[in-house]
Amino acid sequence: MISRITKTFKRLKKEGKKAFIPYVMAGDPSLERTKEIVILFGECGADIVELGVPFSDPLADGPTIQRASERALKNGVTLRKVISHVKDLRQITRIPIVLMTYYNPVFKYGEENFIKDSKDAGVDGVIIPDLPPDEAEDFIKQSRKAVLDSIFLLAPTSTEDRIKKVTKASSGFIYYVSITGITGANLLLDGSMDVLISKIKKYTDKPIAVGFGVSTPMEASAVAGLSDGVIVGSAIVKRLHESPDELKHYLISLREAIK
Amino acid sequence: MPALKELEEAFFYSKKDKEFQRELRHLQKTYIGRPTPLYFARRLTEHLGGAKIYLKREDLAHTGAHKINNAVGQVLLAKKMGKKRVIAETGAGQHGVATATGAALKGLECGIYMGTEDMKRQALNVFRMRLLGAKVTEVPTGSRTLKDAINEALRDWTTNVRTTHYVLGTVFGPHPFPVMVRDFQSVIGREARRQILDAEGRLPDYLIACVGGGSNAMGLFYEFLKEDNPPTPPFSKGGKEGLLDKDIKMIGVEAGGKGIETGEHAARFAGGSIGVFQGCKSYLLQDDDGNVLGTHSVSAGLDYASIGPEHPFLKDAGRVQYTYATDDEALAAFELLSRLEGIIPALESAHAIAEVVKLAPKLDQDKIIIINLSGRGDKDVQHVAKIKGIEL
């Protein structure tokens, strides 16, 4: 069986397009609002939605998403609630949904139960930034069986060995972290991304989406030129709080830039 | 991951590198002031009326705590790896001071992350770090204590990994940190074992240390955990069966805070469950959804939600026993040692002393206890005065 994410990338490839993958933290500021945002993402032409799960210690995230996580936790949003929220979303949208969660909530939930419940709820893929493929043998096996995509990360510092391992372990797409650092930092377009993405492509035909640090439509357009998809997180979360009226316009401008 | 691989290779290479080991030993002797004394606490022993109590005086090491053993080791390693900058987290400030000291010694740039809450409790150490040339950055997120400082240091490390080495201060985090930090701290136990054999002609009956992340405890215990240590006197008449290291009882003392039942503590074994946090699997204070809980301890250095992964291993193997001391017990021990021995212990170390206050009177006078006095209490004087309602 082919996953909904793989189908999406195949379709885009045929159409000569690149994926637009916006991110929102579930439950920030409320799950009701998250539902509205996910629908808005769809209306603005998103291909896949990345849904953040709040965690007390979001190691890979910069200040913007850290604060979003704190707000969501304060509202009592948990991994369990996010999964059941996806079930609700499935009543109204078929857009592929990827959960981004840290490992300890998954560990506490139980890997097997997490995979089963996520799949049943309609989750399409999972990103766990603090679970390296080296430690994920079981997780990968079980999620493959359930046709739940497991998406692993590569960074500018990744060695060839690492690239081999991560491209093999990933399904759906490969998440290329554009910078050494945390979400929301400044993107550096100095040509090194080009080199690294070509290196990754030597090892795999799987789609590569780029995230961390993409914030302007111009950056999104440049990154789209090098990859199969662009993930935008902190910049969206920031707008959502600071200038919600501009969010729709911003999303559309990103969509138009990602070609 | 590549950074951890690079570190692992450098560390294991350094263990075999004669030049590295020679420089480390030289600095331990001439800079840190090792070996630190093993001191017989006569008045404390008499006061408690039971076992003989020895203090391993890590408080006399340069900068006033055992943290310097690891910091100097890792800074040397960073220098060998060609890094230009080191960063560290700090709770009580001792590890931050130690890293800033090592960085000054080796001419490296230094950045320290410290929770807002801890900066308040340990203002003196913040100033010391700045004097030593370190940039101290406040961490106002999460519980604003040690765990959040580690998060922030890890974020810095992922950002600046090419030029920067992260000097993690305890036997925690991803491999090779737990092994490496234990290795740099194991000098404590190596010295203590030799010193007690010199002083008493035999091994101790108990080893006791406080456990935050667990580095001073691992440092004291590790040498005594080796199974191939030869038997020591007293030998039986046949001259064969002497005392063995495996008969020594070891106790780790966690922070009981305001009491386990209040939820305001940092006793991971008494109140936690297994989790995966900051790169390792260990006991963790967490809620049912896997979020890390806030902790409380009067001592910033023990105020941490998880514990180095070798400690659960030793607990499950039945080799080390873990208990806790409350804030009040630690504060009482802090004052007791000050008055009886003229030694003001760190509030962290006072937790180990609090356990001995309970244990020693129950033991015969021919029993021997070694406490790791992991740090000096000067840094805590202001905080303790405040708790007692005294304005300085």
Interval B61-84: pLDDT, tens: 999 999 999 999 999 999 999 999
| CA distance linking residue B331 with residue B354, whole number of Å | 8
Give the distance from residue B7's alpha carbon to the nearest chain A alpha carbon, in angstroms. Answer: 14
Look at residue B238 in the predicted model and tell me its pLDDT. 62
Interval B125-142: pLDDT, tens: 999 999 999 999 999 988
Give the distance from residue A248's alpha carbon to the nearest chain B alpha carbon, in angstroms. Answer: 30
Task: Give me the helices (H) in A146-191, please.
Answer: 160-169
**Cα of A76 vs its chain's centroid, Å:** 22
CA-based nearest residue to B312, from B192, B207, B172, B206: B172
Task: Using CA coordinates, name the residue in chain B closest to A73.
Answer: B291
Give the distance from residue A233's alpha carbon to the nearest chain B alpha carbon, in angstroms. Answer: 17
Q: Which residues have CB under 8 Å from B263's CB, separation 6+?
A: B271, B293
Per the CB < 8 Å rule, is A73 touching B291?
A: yes
Judge contact between B113 and B147, C-beta under 8 A: no
Give the distance from residue A47's alpha carbon to the nearest chain B alpha carbon, in angstroms. Answer: 29
Secondary structure letter of residue B32 according to DSSP: I
Amino acid at B182: R
Angle between helices B187-200 and B177-185 (to 10 degrees): 30
Contacts of A62 in chain B (CB under 8 A): 155
Of B276, B277, B290, the CB nearest to A109: B290
**What is the b/e burial string over B185-206, where b = at least 16 CB atoms within 10 angstroms of the residue's CB?**
bbbbbebbbebbeeebeebbbb
Give this complex's ipTM.
Answer: 0.93
Picking from B87, B172, B291 by the largest number of A CB atoms within 10 A of its own CB, the best residue to mutate is B291
Q: Which residues of B are catalytic?
A: 67, 89, 374
Per the CB < 8 Å rule, is B160 touching A182?
A: no
The pTM of the full predicted model, rounded to 2 decimals, is 0.94
Q: Which residues have CB under 8 Å from B234's CB, separation 6+?
A: B201, B202, B242, B243
Amino acid at B320: V
Contacts of A73 in chain B (CB under 8 A): 291
Picking from B1, B5, B144, B281 by the largest number of A CB atoms within 10 A of its own CB, the best residue to mutate is B1
Q: Which residues have CB under 8 Å from B120's CB, separation 6+?
A: none
Contacts of B309 in chain A (CB under 8 A): none
Is residue B306's pLDDT more than 90? yes
Q: Which CATH number fits domain A4-9+19-257: 3.40.50.150, 3.10.130.10, 1.20.1440.230, 3.20.20.70?
A: 3.20.20.70
Judge contact between B307 and B172, C-beta under 8 A: yes
Q: Is A130 on the interface with B (CB under 8 A)?
A: yes
Q: Is A192 on the interface with B (CB under 8 A)?
A: no
Interval B181-205: pLDDT, tens: 999 999 999 999 999 999 999 999 9
Instruction: Give me the residues paired with residue B375 across strands.
Output: B65
Degrees to nearest 5, angle at CA A68 with A67 and A72: 115
Angle between helices A111-121 and A79-89 (to 10 degrees): 20
Amino acid at A46: A
Instruction: Give me the residues paired with residue A19 across strands.
Output: A229
Per the CB < 8 Å rule, is A107 touching B276?
A: yes
Q: How many CB pairs under 8 A join A and B?
A: 82
Which positions in chain B have a beta carbon within 8 angstroms of at least one beta carbon in chain A? 1-3, 5, 141-142, 147-148, 151, 154-155, 158-162, 275-279, 284, 286, 288-293
Look at residue A187 in the predicted model and tell me its pLDDT. 75
Per the CB < 8 Å rule, is A107 touching B158?
A: no
Interval B152-186: pLDDT, tens: 999 999 889 999 999 999 999 999 999 999 999 99
Q: Is A249 on the interface with B (CB under 8 A)?
A: no
Of A56, A130, A158, the CB nearest to B292: A56
Judge contact between B93 and B122, C-beta under 8 A: yes
Q: What is the pLDDT along chain A (259 residues), one digit of tens a residue?
A: 899 999 999 999 999 999 999 999 999 999 999 999 999 999 999 999 999 999 999 999 999 999 999 999 999 999 999 999 999 999 999 999 999 999 999 999 999 999 999 999 999 999 999 999 999 999 999 999 999 999 999 998 899 999 999 999 999 999 999 887 777 777 777 778 889 999 999 999 999 999 998 999 999 999 999 999 999 999 999 999 999 999 999 999 999 999 9
Amino acid at B102: G
CA-based nearest residue to B223, from B379, B376, B372: B372
Q: Is A156 on the interface with B (CB under 8 A)?
A: no
Judge contact between A97 and A89, C-beta under 8 A: yes
Per the CB < 8 Å rule, is A57 touching B288?
A: no
| CA distance linking residue A233 with residue A255, whole number of Å | 14
Interval B74-125: pLDDT, tens: 999 999 999 999 999 998 899 999 999 999 999 999 999 999 988 987 888 9
Q: Is A62 on the interface with B (CB under 8 A)?
A: yes
Direct distance between the N- and C-terminal alpha carbons of chain B, in angstroms, rounded to an integer = 48
| CA distance linking residue B40 with residue B48, whole number of Å | 14
